[in-house]
């Protein structure tokens, strides 16, 4: 009887534990560059400025390398192919973990150009799957003076990693179904 009560409590607790969660990172500074007009793009020298609710001038670093452009180019903008790496490193200070906090590979990315008079604005948007069933996006804005080659200064960036989990109702049904199957198996074993 105690086992049944414990199983029922577990089945009721599972939906409470399951909830979508996300972690927000921000970065500032650094440069996005390419060695050729068609990429790949590389972000270097960008400081991590927020880790969830922790803020600071240098909490670590954000860096990436993408695949080459599938369409478009560095100057005009376009779509980058899947691949490359994206890494967030922590400083081990102010409650931020030390070393690699998050690393993944881009599934796709866009380089959006907004030409201006003398000063061009760019926005990088990368999409990635994360570890343990997560997905996320990274958005970084950058500006450059026209005619300065394949390098732009990063203004700011925001990365959101969202954990994807089944909704609580689905997990509740799963738990109830497992209890029913367990009960049937137990009944069959005790009769046989």
Same domain, 1 and 74: no
User: Closest Cα partner for 150 from 72, 49, 40, 67?
Assistant: 40
Q: Which residues of 115-136 are buried (b: 16+ CB within 10 A; e: fewer)?
A: eeeeebebbbebebebeeebbb
Q: What is the pLDDT of residues 69-113, one digit of tens each?
A: 999 999 889 999 999 999 999 999 999 999 999 888 888 899 998
State residue 16's pLDDT score: 47
pTM of the shown model: 0.70
Q: Which of these ranges, 20-29, 160-169, 180-189, has the smallest mean pLDDT?
A: 160-169
| pLDDT at site 175 | 61
Do residue 139 and residue 89 come from a single domain? Answer: yes
Residues 182 and 146 in one domain: no
Q: Which range among 8-12, 14-18, 167-171 shows the weakest confidence by mean pLDDT?
A: 14-18
Tokens 């060695």 belong to: 35
| pLDDT for 17 | 45
Question: Could you tell me the two tokens for 151?
Answer: 């390098």
Cis peptide before 40 (omega within 30 of 0): yes
Give the domain range for residue 1: 1-19+167-192
Nearest Cα neighbor of 69 from 43, 99, 108, 118 is 108
pLDDT of residue 132: 55
* CA-based nearest residue to 25, from 74, 71, 1, 61: 61
pLDDT at 170: 53
In this structure, are 12 and 41 located in the same domain?
no
| H helical segments located in 23-148 | none
Mean pLDDT taken over the chain: 79
Domain count, the chain: 2
Do 136 and 178 belong to one domain?
no
Query: CA 45 to CA 153: how far, in whole Å?
Result: 10
pLDDT band at 2 (very low <50, low <70, confident <90, very high): low
pLDDT band at 129 (very low <50, low <70, confident <90, very high): confident
Residues sharing a CB contact under 8 Å with residue 137, sequence separation 6 or more, in sequence order: 125, 126, 127, 128, 159, 160
- The answer to whether residues 46 and 63 belong to one domain is yes
Same domain? 177 vs 116: no
Q: Are residues 134 and 78 in the same domain?
A: yes
pLDDT for 140-167, tens place per residue?
888 776 556 788 888 888 888 765 444 4
Task: Phi first, then psi: give them for residue 59, nearest 5 degrees.
Answer: -95, 5
Question: Do 135 and 110 fall within a single domain?
Answer: yes
Which tops the pLDDT comparison, 20 or 81? 81
Give the pairing of strands 77-80 and 83-91: unpaired
Q: Specify whether 191 is located in the same domain as 140.
A: no
Query: First CA to last CA across the chain, in angstroms?
Result: 20
Q: Specify the pLDDT at position 172.
A: 58
Both 58 and 128 in one domain: the answer is: yes
Question: Do 190 and 155 lie in a common domain?
Answer: no
What is the pLDDT at residue 163? Answer: 52
What percentage of the chain reaches a pLDDT higher than 90? Answer: 39
């Amino acid at each position: 009887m105690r086992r049944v009560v414990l199983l029922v409590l577990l089945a009721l607790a599972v939906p409470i534990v399951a909830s979508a969660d996300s972690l927000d990172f921000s970065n500032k500074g650094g440069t996005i560059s390419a060695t050729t007009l068609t990429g790949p793009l590389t972000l270097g020298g960008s400081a991590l400025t927020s880790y969830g609710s922790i803020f600071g001038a240098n909490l670590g670093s954000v860096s990436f390398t993408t695949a080459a452009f599938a369409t478009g180019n560095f100057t005009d903008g376009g779509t980058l192919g899947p691949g490359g790496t994206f890494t967030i490193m922590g400083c081990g200070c102010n409650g931020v973990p030390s070393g690699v906090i998050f690393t993944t590979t881009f599934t796709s990315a866009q380089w959006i150009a907004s030409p201006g008079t003398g000063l061009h604005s760019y926005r990088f948007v990368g999409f990635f799957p994360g570890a343990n069933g997560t997905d996320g996006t990274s958005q970084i804005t950058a500006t450059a003076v026209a005619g300065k080659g394949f390098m732009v200064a990063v203004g700011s960036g925001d990365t959101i990693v969202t954990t994807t989990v089944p909704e609580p109702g689905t997990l509740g049904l799963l738990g109830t179904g497992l209890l029913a199957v367990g009960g049937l198996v137990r009944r069959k074993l005790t009769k046989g």
